[in-house]
Amino acid sequence: MKHLIWILFITFSATLQAQELITYDAPGALKYSAHNDDFTVQVRKPGGEWLDLFEYIVQVDLDNVQNASLVSFDFSGKIEISVRKNNGTINDVKVRPLSYQISPEINGQLITFSLDQPRNISLEVNGDKLHNLHVFANSILKEKPDPNDPNVIYFGPGIHQPNDQPGDVFHIPSGKTVYIDGGAVLKAKLMVDHAHDVRIIGHGIIFQPERGVEIRHSQNVTVDGLIFINPSHYTIYGGQSNGLNIRNIKSFSCKGWSDGIDLMSCSDVLIDNVFMRNSDDCIAIYGHRWDFYGSARNYQIKNSTLWADIAHPTNIGLHGFAEAGGDTIENITFSNIDILEHDEDDRNYQGCMAITCSDNNLVRNISYQNIRVEDFQEGQLFNFQVVYNEKYSGAPGRGIENVLLKDIEYDGNSANPSIIQGHDKDRMVKDIRIEGLKINGENILNSSDGDIRIGEFTDGIKFK
């Protein structure tokens, strides 16, 4: 009997240790100006005390800028979430991505659900995507750097702004770990320029900077865990840099050219578990642009959620060094991606999965696997074209080669026809394999059933 009691005690203790919950309050100066009272959100361990979360304003959608909400916390084990809608009635609630299969309970104005693993989700009442609640439930940070380590730049709870450097920029030198506490808010850009072996980590917030993180001519840079609220330009801007690891970031933008992750002439890149809601391309991969030179190779983009209020969720190939014969953009894999929105009225810039090959670039060895696309406002499922874009390019692209679409699912009725189109007999699109494509649950085995327009100067387009 004693042995059984001891086993039960150990099991109970292990369960308590496995269930952790950390919440963060907003710094005092932001408690009024940055708060959105559309929802009141609380979180707790099962059966425990409810803890209040701070509901931040995040602005979304360039076409019709509106105030949505954001909450964030860290946990392990299982937690329960309570959301009270403070205005209006509740007819229905969706938690997206739909692939997570989270079914909330509704009781009057109260919405409840539970999580047993980290998730980045959108809670939408009555189909409202512009005033929704974003819930970022992070894992617990197991290893925090020592603030007293001379190679650690530590930002603790509170608001941080440079006071001795122009342009609201924190410059990060080589060999440094930047740790931004979950209760910290930085009102500045982080600049990594001609540096190497830099880590920027933590669950804090970069609040309304010019850009979030700018990485120029650098190697081995990690950005992990941060939230970026409404930069005026890119969230992460990379140029002529190698060995980039971008993990678990969350991004909102609502201005012109406020792309999410834009990388020019960068190679050896991992983008993992990001949530991007941007009013321009969420992820764009280019060759040469501005003062960055070189091809782009070896990318893995995986386990992520992309929400393009404007333009493309993913875009490859528009910019390169046309005058020098172009760049090569190759070996890029997108896998396990949920696409929640794509809204673009210009047919030249449509495509949830877009390869816009221009500037004498060659784009090859690209794969899209296990991609789930929910119904979107306006655009195309995919668009693979060799083009001469007179606004942005100096020449047509050289070609697109060896593209795989495997296990792609689209559920919706808003897509314009997808396009596969070359430019001329020397600038073709070839060797496109489409395997396991489903549209509204139907297997697509030919271009007609998939509403795919196959134009001139194409070869080797195969369905399976």
Render pLDDT for 15-70 as a digit per residue (tens, 0 to 9).
444 799 999 999 998 999 999 999 999 999 999 999 999 999 999 999 999 999 99
Beta strands 296-308 and 219-224, pairing class: unpaired
Mean pLDDT on 270-280: 98
Given this model, what pLDDT does residue 167 score?
A: 72
**In the predicted model, what is the mean pLDDT of residues 336-350?**
96
The tokens for 2 are 């004693």
Percent of the chain with pLDDT over 70: 96
Residue range 225-229: mean pLDDT, rounded: 98
Handedness of CA 59, 65, 69, 74 (dihedral sign): negative
Average pLDDT, the chain: 95
**Would you state the pLDDT for residue 163?**
79
Write the pLDDT tens digit of every residue in 151-178. Answer: 999 999 999 999 766 679 999 999 999 9
66-76 and 20-23 strand pairing: antiparallel
Q: What mean pLDDT is predicted for residues 405-419? A: 97
pLDDT of residue 2 exceeding 70, the answer is no
pLDDT confidence bin for 350, thresholds 50/70/90? very high
pLDDT at 182 over 70: yes
Residues in the chain: 464
E strand or H helix at 394: none
Instruction: Give me the domains of the chain, ranges plus CATH numbers.
Output: 20-139 (2.60.350.10), 230-463 (2.160.20.10)
Residues near 205 by beta carbon (within 8 Å), at least 6 away in sequence: 56, 180, 184, 185, 186, 226, 227, 228, 229
Q: What is the pTM of this model?
A: 0.96
How does residue 372 score in pLDDT terms, banded at 50, 70 and 90? very high
Q: For residue 5, name the pLDDT band (cuts at 50, 70, 90).
A: very low
Q: Convert 387-413 to b/e letters by CB count within 10 Å (16 or more is b).
A: bebeeebbbbbbbbbebebbebbbeee
Is a pLDDT exceeding 80 seen at residue 12? Answer: no
Give per-residue pLDDT as tens, 421-459: 999 999 999 999 999 999 999 999 999 999 999 999 999
CB–CB of 77/45 below 8 Å?
yes
CA dist., res. 248 & res. 276, Å (int)? 10
Mean pLDDT along residues 242-247: 98
Confidence band, pLDDT 50/70/90 cuts, at residue 13? very low
C-alpha atoms less than 13 angstroms from C-alpha of 426 in its C-beta half-sphere: 3
pLDDT score recorded for residue 143: 86
- Given a cut of 80, whether residue 9 has pLDDT beyond it is no
**Tokens of residue 73, six digits:** 């916390």
pLDDT-above-90 percentage for the chain: 93
pLDDT number for residue 166 = 60
- pLDDT of 251 reads 98
Distances in whole angstroms, Cα of residue 231 to Cα of each of 179, 225, 237, 271 = 20, 17, 11, 19
Cα separation, 255 vs 34, in Å, equals 18
Give me the half-sphere count of Cα atoms (radius 13 Å) on the Cβ side of residue 65: 10
Amino acid at 426: D
pLDDT value of residue 15:
46
DSSP letter for each residue of 115-160 = ESS-EEEEEEETT-SSS-EEEEEEEPPS-PPPTTSTTEEEE-SEEE
CA angle 251, 279, 340 (to 5 degrees): 70
